[in-house]
Amino acid sequence: MRPEALSYLEPLETRTRGVAVLDALADMVERSGLKIGDRLPPEVSLAATLGVGRSTIREALNRWEGLGIIRRRRGDGTYLSARVQTSRGLVPTMVRLEGEALLRLMEIRRTLENDVVRKATEKATPAQRRQISELCDVLLIEVNAGRPWRKADHAFHGAIYDATGNPMYGQLLMNLDHALERGGSSPFTADAFGLDSFPIHRELADAILAADVDQALDAINRLLDTVEREVKAIIEGRKG
């Protein structure tokens, strides 16, 4: 830990929770020059310097831990595990940090999804192929009608995971979906997020139905590319 880090914090005007604390911590990390692997000041020192309760600091650090920004070592302290840079434009700092964490997560997801799609396309039974196609129809109906689509999306992707014959894929990918702690008002949890990728879902389903591995892999990678572009557009302030 760099002892001077606390000098970059000032007491908050109100005993606030949430965004103000998270923004203050991000500003401290950036201005004090803390790097990946450096230890953060103790929770009690952060709380005292900001003039908030220790539970407020703990909640903020839990949020960061959920985004993979820090890691805690029991009995040793809290260490920075990802770069933190505050926003200078219109995009809130936490939106940027959430987006950057999501991009890191998608690197892992891409590797798994490619393996899943390859195996599902090769191994799916005729009944499973038809089910994947039908679930895609249901998903697109919900999307095009402007209704909540996440349940239908999980069913579609779950059918693809099942078609691999290995239940661990589904468990791993579902765990990844819940790996990041995102705020309730996060643009990455809004129903509008990811809509540009849905036409490609149809291409993915058609390729699996036709047992065309190359087309299926092309579709899943273009689908992920579309989502990544949208994440980058949001954190760069090009999409509201």
Q: Contact at 8 Å (CB) between 233 and 227?
A: no
Enumerate domains of the chain plus CATH numbers: 3-80 (1.10.10.10), 93-235 (1.20.120.530)
Supply the pLDDT for residue 42: 93
**Which segments of the chain have a pLDDT < 50?**
15-16
Residues 94, 95, 98, 100: is their CA dihedral positive or negative?
negative
pTM of the model: 0.81
Q: What is the pLDDT of residues 183-215, one digit of tens each?
A: 667 888 888 899 999 999 999 999 999 999 999
β-strands 77-80, 70-73: how paired?
Answer: antiparallel
